[in-house]
């Protein structure tokens, strides 16, 4: 074609075909390494081929499965660790088709992103290919989709598709053979696997840790690395056992945990009773249970709790099958099949609370409240009530990456919930009741004396319902942070939400600012916008703005404590 520089190109629109071609060339050797009887795993054609006869099948039933990795991807992306997530993808698919007794034959992947980073994609797909090789299936093809505007920079999504086969007479589950008294063998998981990560991420967010926190007795692993432990592949180790004729059913403990997956392979008239004291629950589950304050039912319905697969076997064959599995995997006898009584649960898990409690909690090498950490800015938080913003600040400052440490919480009211939150976190508290002082200046002087006692360097006002006096503000100029429930300079004062609704604006928010002598007039550090919805009341709007405050206040404190933001001459802010 004649060369022309005019007009738009596909690359201008955000799709780099050359980058895609480069990726294909880089991953071809990985795919080729997964070749097996039945196919040679060569990439580049419009479709992949598989020869069932060459793979040794005479009367096969094809079995297919598809899955993704869920929000475990968010942790991989935040930790910039992309080499293990491919095994999660493969394992989630091939472990599922094992439930039909099928050998995985070939696998296809789908990788989607907003802008293709060849190095990241290569790392992910290399992990997929390596997992395919371990599982005994060929990486027969895939799709890389670069879709500008669909995903933010640095984010990608994965999906996988596995196809396997089983001879017609060997399919599982064999429902007509399962009877009351059969025993259950649990095969160990490698950890959380790839389910429940939206809950995991929420627990981490509210905990004292982040993904970079060192964990373990020796502190040789971060929390992110622990959570990214790849899902165990069971096909190579369990397939011979499943083909032995001694296994009546196999359940993959995936989304839905123990409670919802075991019944999928049982007759409707039967249930199971498990004893959680019969298997080893990894410490990470005990930590999630404690930090998330999760019920036993929530644990058993969300997580595998240390059991990645469950096999149903005849009582007389249980020990032999268990020995066969234990030659390759950690496994235990964990329960039995029972007749399902009317109104009873399909799955009963006995002693789960005891098992979780008995397990030593995750050893954490991180910030310990109550001891001043060298290099951290010492912060006091002044409160008057429940301390929801205080709680957000406590959680954020406990993280290893925080530049601040809360060394003191002061309340002008006794007995408030905020004080209890501080005490539970091991933070010293003081009650200085303003009603005991004849003037604002004298009350502020008493507060100042306590701040000096604890060598405080920054003050956060978190629901502190007192106006500070001029001398106090002047002494601590550039060192006091306050949060206000509107986008300042609009809607100052005590009734911001009412004023917002009366004005009919469509966007409000919250503002973290330095405190000046004029109320709500100090230099702005951080703001977060919140939409005003049709039908909002003061209460519903306040609830949504409060959620934004819990993000904004810790972010602003981190900016100030790190030195990224400060107040200069004439109250101006400097970055």
Is 89 a member of any domain?
yes
Predicted local distance difference test score (pLDDT) of residue 368: 29
Task: Return the closest-CA partner of residue 410 out of 440, 357, 451.
Answer: 451
Q: Are residues 212 and 162 in the same domain?
A: no
Residue 84's Cα: distance from chain center in Å? Answer: 16
Q: Note the pTM of the prediction, 2 decimals.
A: 0.68
Is 367 inside a domain boundary?
A: no
Co-location of 157 and 185 in the same domain: no
CA 502 to mean position of chain CA atoms = 39
From 306, 324, 358, the end of a domain falls on 358
Same domain, 296 and 241: yes
Reduced to 3 DSSP states, what percent helix, strand and coil does the chain have, rounded to the nearest 5? 35, 25, 40
H helices present in 328-431, as ranges: 352-358, 388-397, 417-424
Q: Say yes or no: 471 and 329 in one domain.
A: no
Same structural domain for residues 48 and 125?
Answer: yes
CATH of the domain at 532: 3.40.50.170
Q: In terms of domains, do 332 and 403 share one?
A: no
Q: What pLDDT, on the 0 to 100 scale, is given for residue 370?
A: 39
Alpha carbon dihedral 509, 515, 521, 527, in 10-degree steps, equals -20
Based on the residue annotation, tell me whether 484 is a catalytic residue of this protein: yes
Per-residue pLDDT, 216: 66
| pLDDT for position 221 | 84
- pLDDT value for 275: 96
Q: Is residue 363 part of a domain?
A: no
Query: What is the domain-level CATH number for residue 118?
Result: 3.30.1330.10
Looking at 153, 170, 187, the residue that finishes a domain is 170
The domain of 503 spans 377-574
Phi, psi of 75 (to 5 degrees): -70, -45
371 in any annotated domain? no
Q: What pLDDT does residue 371 have?
A: 45
Domain boundary among 358, 385, 414: 358
Cα separation, 364 vs 423, whole angstroms: 20
Q: What are phi and psi of 174, to 5 degrees?
A: -100, 80
Start-to-end Cα distance in the chain:
52
User: How many domains does one find in the chain?
Assistant: 3
R_g over Cα of the chain: 29
Residue 497 resides in a domain: yes
How long is the chain?
A: 575
The pLDDT of residue 501 is: 96
Does residue 484 share a domain with residue 523?
yes
* Given the residues 193, 252, 484, 513, the one annotated as active site: 484
Asked if 332 and 433 sit in the same domain, the reply is no
CA within 13 Å, CB half, 238:
34
Give, for all 575 residues of the chain, the pLDDT tens digit: 666 666 788 887 888 888 888 998 998 999 999 999 998 877 777 888 999 999 999 999 999 999 999 999 999 999 999 999 999 999 999 999 999 999 999 999 999 999 999 999 999 999 999 999 999 999 999 999 999 999 988 899 999 999 999 999 999 999 999 999 999 999 999 999 999 999 999 999 888 788 988 886 556 788 999 999 999 999 999 999 999 999 999 999 999 999 999 999 999 999 999 999 999 999 899 999 988 989 999 999 999 999 999 999 999 999 999 999 999 999 999 999 999 988 889 999 999 998 988 765 555 443 323 344 567 999 999 999 999 999 999 999 988 888 999 999 999 999 899 999 998 888 999 999 999 999 999 999 999 999 999 999 999 999 999 999 999 999 999 999 999 999 999 999 889 999 999 999 999 999 999 999 888 888 999 999 999 999 999 999 999 999 999 999 999 999 999 988 888 776 777 77
Whether 502 and 440 map to the same domain: the answer is yes
- 2 is a domain residue: no
The answer to whether residues 52 and 151 belong to one domain is yes
Same domain membership, residue 182 and residue 104: no
pLDDT in the model for residue 366: 39
398, part of any domain? yes
329, 458: one domain:
no
Q: What is the CATH number of the domain that holds 264?
A: 3.90.650.10
């Amino acid at each position: 074609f004649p060369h022309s520089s005019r007009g738009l190109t596909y690359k201008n629109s955000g799709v780099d075909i050359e980058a895609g071609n480069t990726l294909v060339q880089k991953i071809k050797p990985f795919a080729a390494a997964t070749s097996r009887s039945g196919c040679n795993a060569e990439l580049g054609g419009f479709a992949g081929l598989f020869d069932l006869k060459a793979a040794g099948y005479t009367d096969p039933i094809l079995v297919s499965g598809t899955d993704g990795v869920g929000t475990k991807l968010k942790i991989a992306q935040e930790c910039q660790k992309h080499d293990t997530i491919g095994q999660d993808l493969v394992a989630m698919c091939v472990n599922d088709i094992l439930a039909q007794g099928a050998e995985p034959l070939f696998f296809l992947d789908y990788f989607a992103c907003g802008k293709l980073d060849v190095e990241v994609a290569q790392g992910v797909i290399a992990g997929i290919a390596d997992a395919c090789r371990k599982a005994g299936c060929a990486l027969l093809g895939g799709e890389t989709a670069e879709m500008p505007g669909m995903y933010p920079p640095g984010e990608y999504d994965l999906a996988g598709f596995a196809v396997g086969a089983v001879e017609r007479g060997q399919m599982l589950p064999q429902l007509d053979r399962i009877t009351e008294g059969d025993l259950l063998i649990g095969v160990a998981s490698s950890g959380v696997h790839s389910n429940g990560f939206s809950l995991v991420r929420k627990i981490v967010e509210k905990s004292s840790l982040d993904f970079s926190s060192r964990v373990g007795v020796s502190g040789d692993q971060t929390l992110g690395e622990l959570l990214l432990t790849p899902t165990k592949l069971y096909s190579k180790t369990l397939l011979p056992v499943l083909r032995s004729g001694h296994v009546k059913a196999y359940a993959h403990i995936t989304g839905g945990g123990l409670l919802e997956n075991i019944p999928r392979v049982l007759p409707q008239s039967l249930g199971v009773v498990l004893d959680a004291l019969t298997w080893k629950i990894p410490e990470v589950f005990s930590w999630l249970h404690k930090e998330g304050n999760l019920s036993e039912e929530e644990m058993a319905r969300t997580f595998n709790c240390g059991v990645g697969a469950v096999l149903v076997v005849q009582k007389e064959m249980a020990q032999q099958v268990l020995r066969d599995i234990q030659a390759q995997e950690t496994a235990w006898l964990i329960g039995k099949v029972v007749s399902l009584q009317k109104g009873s649960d399909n799955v009963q898990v006995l002693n789960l609370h005891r098992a979780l409690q008995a397990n030593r909690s995750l050893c954490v090498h991180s910030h310990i409240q109550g001891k001043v950490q060298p290099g951290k800015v010492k912060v006091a938080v002044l409160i008057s009530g429940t301390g929801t913003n205080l709680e957000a600040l406590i959680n954020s400052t406990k993280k290893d990456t925080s530049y601040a440490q809360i060394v003191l919480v002061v309340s002008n009211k006794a007995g408030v919930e905020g004080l209890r939150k501080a005490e539970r976190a091991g933070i010293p508290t003081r009650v200085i009741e303003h009603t005991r002082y004849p003037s604002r200046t004298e009350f502020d002087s008493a507060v100042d004396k306590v701040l000096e006692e604890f060598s405080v360097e920054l003050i956060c006002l978190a629901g502190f319902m007192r106006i500070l006096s001029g001398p106090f503000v002047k002494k601590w100029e550039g060192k006091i942070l306050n949060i206000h429930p509107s986008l300042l300079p609009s809607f100052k004062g005590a009734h911001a939400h009412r004023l917002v609704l009366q004005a009919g604006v469509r966007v409000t928010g919250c503002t973290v600012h330095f405190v000046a002598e004029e109320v709500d007039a100090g230099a702005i550090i951080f703001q977060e916008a919140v939409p005003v919805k049709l039908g909002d009341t003061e209460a519903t709007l306040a609830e949504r703005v409060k959620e934004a405050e819990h993000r904004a206040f810790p972010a602003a404190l981190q900016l100030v404590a790190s030195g990224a933001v400060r107040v200069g001459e004439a109250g101006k802010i400097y970055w």
